[in-house]
Amino acid sequence: MTTAIRSADRRVSPVFLALAAVLVVSGWAVWSGTLAANTGFAVFLFVVSGWVVSLCLHEYAHARTALHSGDISVEAKGYLTLNPLKYTHALLSIVLPVIFVIMGGIGLPGGAVFIEHGRIRGRWRHSLISAAGPLTNVVFAAVCTAPFWLGGLAGVPATFRFALAFLALLQVTAAILNFVPVPGLDGYGVLEPWLPLKLRRQVEPFAPFGLLAVFGLLWVPEVNHVFFDFVDTILRGLGVSQLDSYLGQEFFRFWQGEPQLLPSGS
């Protein structure tokens, strides 16, 4: 009985498989132009499903690292099933990030899984658990941009290229924001085990507001400009032009109408 329950706790959930199926089908639709009259909607589905899949993998990375570090409770909580509905804060982890993608094209990091830190031994393990999530976004960004920095864009439809570029932008913004050393974000979680206990206790009450404070700063034009300049610099280093990601976002916002001007030769 115990073995059967443990197996169920690790089985990939139908919810995640459905998300992955939407990602594949919508990606095929963007690539093939099957929904030519609704290309923007296909891009929207592709980017949103890809973004949610990356959020699931982000949280899974936290949970899986915690499991191997001593917190076996993550298995019983269903975190290893990749089911977003199992997260402690589904609203923060999935719903709000998707809303902010739609509103501002920002890969907002969300609340994650609940780790029983008392089961974890060693500061390095605590730091690694926190770092595992945003490192997943780094890997996802590398995969999305692989055709760009490997010079493999020959034969790739322009719209699919734009969609990949915008999805990569979301991953880069998520990785950067997650690594900000502010209470409530993974960057602080990496540093926290190495801070004096007194300081950690003083900072703890502010943790629930760290994410909101960072997002609020991004609405300041000067901060927003610097942030996205940094994001664009990283993307250019990966071979993704600002025009590619811009057009990807324009197609994503299908309710505003598809962009009329495409790069020459696309």
Work out the burial of residue 171: count CB atoms within 10 Å of its CB; fewer than 13 is exposed, 13-18 middle, 19 or more buried. buried
Burial class (CB in 10 A: 0-12, 13-18, 19+), 226: exposed
Just list the catalytic residues: 59
Cβ atoms 186, 131 nearer than 8 A:
yes
Buried b (16+ CB within 10 A) or exposed e, 96-126: bbbebbeeebbbbbbbbbbbebeebeeeebb
Residue 79 corresponds to which tokens in the numbers above? 């975190």
